[in-house]
Amino acid sequence: MGKLIKRGNLYFPDKEFKKRAWINNNSIYKEASKNPIKFWGKLAKELYWFKKWNKTFAHKPPYFQWFQGGKINISYNCLERNLEKRRNKVALIFEPEPLGEREIKLTYYELYRKVNKTVNALKKLGVKKGDRVGIYLPMIPETIISMLACARIGAIHSVVFSAFSSNALKIRMQEIDAKVLITCDGYYRRGKIINLKDGADKGIKETKIKKVVVVRRASNKIKFVKGRDCFFDDLIKEQSDYCKPEQMNSEDKLFILFTSGSTGKPKGIIHTCGGYSVQAYWTAKGIFDLFDDDIFWSTADVGWITGHTYSCYGPLLNGTTFVLYEGAPDYPSLDRWCHIIEKYGVTTFYTAPTAIRMFEKEVGKVKENLKTLQLIASVGEPINEEAWKWFFAQVGKEKCPVLDTWWQTETGGILITSLPGVGPFKPTFAGMPFPGVQTDILDNKGNKVKANQKGNLVILPPFSPGILRGIYKNPKKYKKTYFGEYGDKVYFTEDIAYKDKKGLVRIVGRADDVIKVAGHRLSTGELENIIDSNNKVAECAVVGIPHKIKGETPVVFVVLNPKKKATEKDILKLITEGIGKIAKPQKIFFVKDLPKTRSGKIMRRILRKLFTGEDLGDLSTLANPQTVDEIKKKIKK
């Protein structure tokens, strides 16, 4: 096992680390940037293709394609491709939340059989290539099985985070016209059983869902609708254990995952079969240095992109054993996550700054030695220096590189991070763009900024294979959001960043109205829409303010309609029903008016600054500057 060498405030991997790593030489960056298309093409060959592509990259701005003409199936690559060498190797370890319950281990062969049976069951329900299937499931093996089963027949899966409300489920299922929903009776969260079926029943009203497949997980009482509902295990029991994988075109849709943006409605991000597979496979391998003796644990829920790429596809494409944990990392006590690392001998641990900060505050010193860990990694929002140092010292015991990985739902896989066999690791800096990825930091006019100057992070052609190919049913929004800022050949990330003199990138935060609450991506616009939809509310503004553990937390300002009354509770109910408990605001203020420009635009920036203590700037351009003082007084109270 290697050591880290400290030079100034940078850490470098030693010879041992380099020896183990897939990528251990700086020269790969040069090689890749000379011809990124060729570079990705070479990597793509490591996967199994039914038919090789004719053209590696084709660009018709703002659209582009990878591996044109190629035929592939990601489930084949996750399953069959591993059967020869790893038939009886454990693919997935399921750790249930209740301590009394035993873990479940599925080998690659067992997983293969279950996926095939599930495919045959879905077919029996009428699911065909191109159909959309909703997956509203927590972190249980059937979630992974269902995703792979959809991918195997070319049905497009759309996973909805199980902590999202039934309304959130409904608008997503309506948007994609899903035919079938896979859900479960219930699941465990902090010792309680959450009745998910209840949420599913409400969420599918007014949708085109005809069949609901219910996984038996918590044996809680549920409403069962005859003719529409069926149980997962009953359905797959009878099925044969083989179904030929569909030969998918590279550019066929693999899945749609909704995410939040600047506007009120979530966006259905489209990922495709070829490019996404290559991105997931190679980033998981090259960044997490996956080898056959690794046990990989990503704590991200499959309802988010991190869960898709690194709690499912990435490890499976690499034939890795990975942990799938059902519950809260601090349940029933704060050392649960340490126990999971020790119980399975986890070698790579991937988590989020919000969890790191929570453990830093609550645990302080980690007494477990966590000796199997080799790499630790973070994702989702900027990691502050204190949290980085704590993670490095207390979890990594100063011997594991901290990989601060930057990416987005839209990019499909990690795009910026230091590599374990190359380094350097610098607190709060994500590092260098992954080989084959070209980024830049531009000012508002489109000029490159100098070192240490902030600007907009952009990605340049040929982008990378895993980047989104569109927003479902909304090409206009795709163009405007990602290729609207600097023309149709430059992908705008909507993140603010800067580079140090060595070219290491530090992400500062978002340039738009997206906020990160405990790592969850939420849009203030979406929250505002939900609150505004109530007839008691005249208007409202939501801003994200800094929070010590969650990173950010929403604060809501509501202006009520004359003569109408509403309480904090009413507003809270709107939010939890509209999105879910994860969007619960820190505080709700009822105010007379909101600060606005003369043209009527709400100045959210000013509201936010009232909490951060930053200078409010020139208020004279406001139509109603006196409201700022009134609101200030309310906040002080």
Q: Which chain residues interact with ligand WT7 by CB under 6 A?
A: 259, 305-306, 379-382, 404-409, 430, 493, 495, 507, 510, 516, 521
Cis bond upstream, residue 562 (ω within 30): no
Measured CA to CA in angstroms, residue 609 lies from 544, 612, 635 at distances of 10, 5, 12
Rounded CA-CA distance 382/509 in Å is 7
Helix axes 166-176, 568-578, angle to 10 degrees: 40
Cα–Cα nearest to 157, from 236, 257, 229, 75 = 257
Q: How far is the CB of 378 from ligand WT7 (least distance, A)?
A: 6
Residues 6+ apart with CB under 8 A from 389: 427
**Closer by beta carbon to ligand WT7, 143 or else 298:** 298
DSSP 8-state assignment for residue 561: P
Q: How far is the CB of 353 from ligand WT7 (least distance, A)?
A: 8
Q: How far is the CB of 233 from ligand WT7 (least distance, A)?
A: 32
Decide: 347 and 370 in contact? Cβ < 8 Å.
no
Decide: 590 and 572 in contact? Cβ < 8 Å.
no
Task: Compute the radius of gyration of the chain from its Cα atoms.
Answer: 24
Measured CA to CA in angstroms, residue 115 lies from 180, 237, 243, 302, 438 at distances of 17, 12, 9, 17, 37
**Closer by beta carbon to ligand WT7, 232 or else 258:** 258
**Closer by beta carbon to ligand WT7, 256 or else 574:** 256
Q: How far is the CB of 508 from ligand WT7 (least distance, A)?
A: 8
Cα–Cα nearest to 355, from 324, 320, 394, 321 = 394
Decide: 336 and 366 in contact? Cβ < 8 Å.
no
Cα–Cα nearest to 588, from 566, 573, 571, 609 = 571
Q: Is 135 helix (H, G, I), strand (E, B) or coil?
A: strand
Q: How far is the CB of 212 from ligand WT7 (least distance, A)?
A: 28
Phi, psi of 308 (to 5 degrees): -65, -50
Rounded CA-CA distance 464/64 in Å is 10
Q: How far is the CB of 549 from ligand WT7 (least distance, A)?
A: 16
Rounded CA-CA distance 53/18 in Å is 33
Q: How far is the CB of 578 from ligand WT7 (least distance, A)?
A: 19
Which own/partner contact pairs does 245-248 have at CB distance under 8 Å and 24+ positions apart? 245/73, 245/75, 245/76, 245/80, 245/152, 245/153, 246/73, 246/129, 246/152, 246/153, 246/154, 247/50, 247/51, 247/71, 247/72, 247/73, 248/71, 248/72, 248/73, 248/154, 248/273, 248/274
Q: Both tokens of residue 37?
A: 């298309």
**Closer by beta carbon to ligand WT7, 153 or else 505:** 505
First to last CA, the chain: 55
Q: How far is the CB of 97 from ligand WT7 (least distance, A)?
A: 23
Q: Is 519 helix (H, G, I), strand (E, B) or coil?
A: coil
**Closer by beta carbon to ligand WT7, 76 or else 349:** 349
**Closer by beta carbon to ligand WT7, 201 or else 440:** 440
**Closer by beta carbon to ligand WT7, 155 or else 507:** 507
Rounded CA-CA distance 511/500 in Å is 20
Q: How far is the CB of 214 from ligand WT7 (least distance, A)?
A: 28
**Closer by beta carbon to ligand WT7, 408 or else 464:** 408
**Closer by beta carbon to ligand WT7, 4 or else 305:** 305
Strands 551-560 and 587-590: parallel
Residues 6+ apart with CB under 8 A from 334: 359, 362, 363
**Closer by beta carbon to ligand WT7, 47 or else 507:** 507
Q: Is 491 helix (H, G, I), strand (E, B) or coil?
A: strand
**Closer by beta carbon to ligand WT7, 262 or else 409:** 409
Q: How far is the CB of 167 from ligand WT7 (least distance, A)?
A: 20
**Closer by beta carbon to ligand WT7, 66 or else 161:** 161
Decide: 266 and 172 in contact? Cβ < 8 Å.
yes
Q: How far is the CB of 507 from ligand WT7 (least distance, A)?
A: 4
Cα-to-chain-centroid distance, residue 122: 26
Q: How far is the CB of 465 from ligand WT7 (least distance, A)?
A: 16
Q: How far is the CB of 521 from ligand WT7 (least distance, A)?
A: 3
Q: How far is the CB of 304 from ligand WT7 (least distance, A)?
A: 6
**Closer by beta carbon to ligand WT7, 466 or else 585:** 466
**Closer by beta carbon to ligand WT7, 179 or else 510:** 510
